[in-house]
A and B are shown apart, each in its own frame.
Chain A
Amino acid sequence: MSSVILRNVNKSYGNLPIVKNLNLEVKDGEFVVLVGPSGCGKSTTLRMVAGLEDITQGEIQIGDRAINDLPPHKRNIAMVFQNYALYPHMSVRENIVFGLKKSGADAETIKQRLADVSEMLKLNDYLDRKPADLSGGQRQRVAMGRALARDADVYLFDEPLSNLDAKLRHHMRTEIARIQHQYNMTAIYVTHDQIEAMTLGDRVVVMRDGIVEQVGTPMDIYLQPTNTFVATFIGSPAMNLIEAKIEGDDLVFDHYRIPATKIANVDMHDLSSHDTVLVGIRPDFFEDSALSSPSDNLFEFNEIQVDLVENLGFDKEIMFKLGGEDAKARLDLRSHVKRQEHISLSVDLNRVLLFDTSPQGMLINAGEV
C-alpha cells in the first residue's frame, strides 16, 4: 500500500481544459471517492493516476515514486472498470490470476490468493466458467476479484457499480466497504452516485467542470457544503435554497422573519454587508410541528399549503412553496399530512445554512456544527 499525491495536475484536450489545477493527497490506507456530475473530470483524474491518460501538467506520485512518465504496466496499480473488461477467452480463474502471474508471484501465493478472493467474493462455483456465461453481478465480482488478487499499491474503481440493478448495487457497495477496511487498501473510487460517495468514502472529493469544489468527510460535506453546488449535489432530495432579504437581524421572505442571531456561526457584522442571502434547508431537517418537541431554537413555518405528498414507506416527501419556489421536506411516517392541507413545519436553526448570492453561492456561516 502507498499514498497517492496529485500536485497541480492539469489535463486538457487541445485547448479544452478537462481537469484544472487539481491537488489531492490520498493517505496510505485511505478510501477517497471522487464524485461529480458527468463531464466533471473525475474519471479523467482516475485514468491519469492509472496511466491511461497522460498528464498535461503537474505531478502524480504513488508512495515516493513520481509516476508521470511510467506506463500503466509499471505503476503497480489495480483497477476495476465500469464495463468490467474481463478477458473473454479466459475462465474466471484465469482472469483473476492473470495480473498476479505477470507480477511474478510464485505458484503457492497465486493459489492462496485465488482461494482467498474466490471465497470472499463467493466465486467458487464459477471458477471454470467464461465471462460470457456469467450474469452482470457475477462479472462485476470477477472484476473485483481480479483487482483484489493483486498486491497493488493503489486500487482504482471507475464507476464499478453503475451497471448493476439497485439491489445488487447496494449489496456490492457494502462488500466493497467491508473488503476495503479488511485489507486497509489505498483506494480511489469514482462515481456520480452521491449515496456511494457518502457511504464508501473516508473522504469525498466533489468535482465540477474540472475543479475540486470541496474535499472532506461525508458528514462535513453534508453539513457544511462550501457552496450551493455542493449543497444541492450532495443529499437527496436536494437542499432547498430560498432567497431572503436582510432586514436588521432578520432574514425575510414570504411572511416569515427568521432571527439570524439564532442561526449557528453567523457573524452579524459580516451578514449586514449583504442585501440578500440564500437560506439553505435540507428537506431532512424539516419536522411536522405537530410532532416536534418544543425548543427555543426551532423556527416554525406556519400556514404551509401541501401541494403534493409522495409516500415512500417510512418516509414521505411533501412539496410546497417557500419564497415563491418549489420546496421539499422529508417527514417520517408519524406525520399524516394530506394534499392541499395547511400545516406547520419546524426547523432547527442550528441546521440552517446561509449562502451569498454570488454565482458561486459561497457558504457564509461556516464553522463547527
Chain B
Amino acid sequence: MSSILVKNEAKLGLKLVAPAVGIIGLLVIYPILFNIYLSFFDVQLNGDKTFVGLDNYTDLLGNPRYYHSVGVSIVYLIGTVIGTTVLGLAAAVLMNQEFRFRNLARGLILLPYFAPVISVVFGWQFIFDPVNGIYNHVVVDVLHLTDTRENLIGNPDSALFVVILFDIWKHFPIAYLLLLAKLQSVPKDLYEAAAIDGQNAWGRFWHVTLPELRFVIATVVLLRIIWNLNRFEDVYLLAPNVETLPIFTYYQAFAGIVDQGGAAAISVIQLLVLVGLIWLYVRKVLKW
C-alpha cells in the first residue's frame, strides 16, 4: 500500500476510536487520577482539602484493621478462586458427557449466575437463619451433629466462609461456561489416541483434558482474582461484617468517622496490585 493510503487509514482509525477514548477517559482515567490526587489530602465532607503528603499512606500502614482486611481478602480470594475453578471444571467435564436432557441441564447450571444478587442473598440469609433456617434445622434437629444453633452469618469468622460458599455457588457458572466452551473444541481423536496409548479415564483427563484447558484455567483464575479483589455487593449484602478490602474501603470513606483521603489511599494500593495482575494476564496468559 502506498504511504498516502496508510496515512489516511491511520487518520480514519484515530477518528473512529476517538469517541471510545473520550468516554473511557471521562469515566475511567479521570476518576483514577482524581483518586490518586485525593490520596494525598485530608478531605472533609464539605469538600475542603488539606494537603497531607504521604500521611494517609503511613496511617494506613500503621492500622491493624487494614492488615486484618488484607488477611480476610486473601482467604476470600483463595477460597473463591479455587472453589469456582474446581467446581466449574467438574461441572464442565460432567456436562461434556452425553446424556438425556443435557441441554436443559447445561442451561440450569447457569441460573445462579443470572439470578439478581439481592434476591439470592435474602435466600441465603434465610438458609443460615439461626431460628428458622434450614441449615440449623438439618444440623441440629435432623442430624444431631451439635446441640447449639449457630448464627453463622452473625459471627464474622464463620460468615467469611458463608460468603466464600455463596461466591462459589454464584460464580462457578462463568468458569463452567468458559471451560465447557474449550472442552467442546478438544479433538475427540486425542482422547482416542491416549486410550490406545494405554491411558484410562483418569490418565486421559490428566494428559489430554488438563493440558488442553490450561490457558482457559489460567484465564479463569486470573479473571476471578481480579474480579473478586474488587467484589463488593455480594459480600456487603450477605454479611456486612466480613471486612474484605472493598468493604473496609467503603467503611473508611462513607461510614463512621469519614476519611475519604484514607479510603483513596487504600484504593491506590489496590489499583497497583490490580495493575500488576492485569500486566501478568496480558503478558503471560494471553501469550500462551
Contact = CB atoms under 8 A, between A and B. Distances in A.
Contact of A89 (B192, B193, B198, B211): B211
Given A52-B192, A72-B192, A89-B211, A83 B197 contact: no
B203 A72 contact: no
A73 B200 contact: yes
Interface string A92-130: 000000110011000000000000000000000000000
Contacts, number: 58
A358 B242 CA distance: 86
A85 interface: yes
A73 B196 contact: yes
Contacts of A50: 192, 196
B208 interface: yes
Contacts of B207: 87, 98
Interface residues of A, number: 22
B190 interface: yes
Contacts of A99: 196-198
B98 interface: no
Given A81-B189, A83-B187, A83-B189, A72 B196 contact: yes
A79 interface: yes
A85 B187 CA distance: 8
B29 interface: no
Contacts of A52: 192, 195-196
Contact of A87 (B192, B200, B211): B211
Nearest to B195: A72
B203 to A, nearest CB: 7
A81 B194 CA distance: 12
A73 B199 CA distance: 6
A248 interface: no
Contacts of B189: 81, 83, 85
A86 B196 CA distance: 12
B192 A71 contact: no
Contacts of B193: 79, 81, 85-87, 146
A99 B211 CA distance: 17
Residue with the greatest number of chain B CB neighbours at <10 A, chosen from A72, A83, A88, A89: A72
A102 B214 CA distance: 22
A141 B212 CA distance: 23
Contact of A79 (B190, B196, B212): B196
B208 A73 contact: no
Interface string B4-29: 00000000000000000000000000
Interface string A43-59: 00000001110000000
A85 B190 contact: yes
A81 B192 CA distance: 9
A103 B195 contact: no
A98 B197 contact: yes
5 contacts: A71-B195, A73-B200, A85-B193, A87-B193, A98-B207
The 6 closest A-B pairs by CB, nearest first: A99-B197, A85-B189, A102-B198, A85-B193, A89-B211, A72-B195
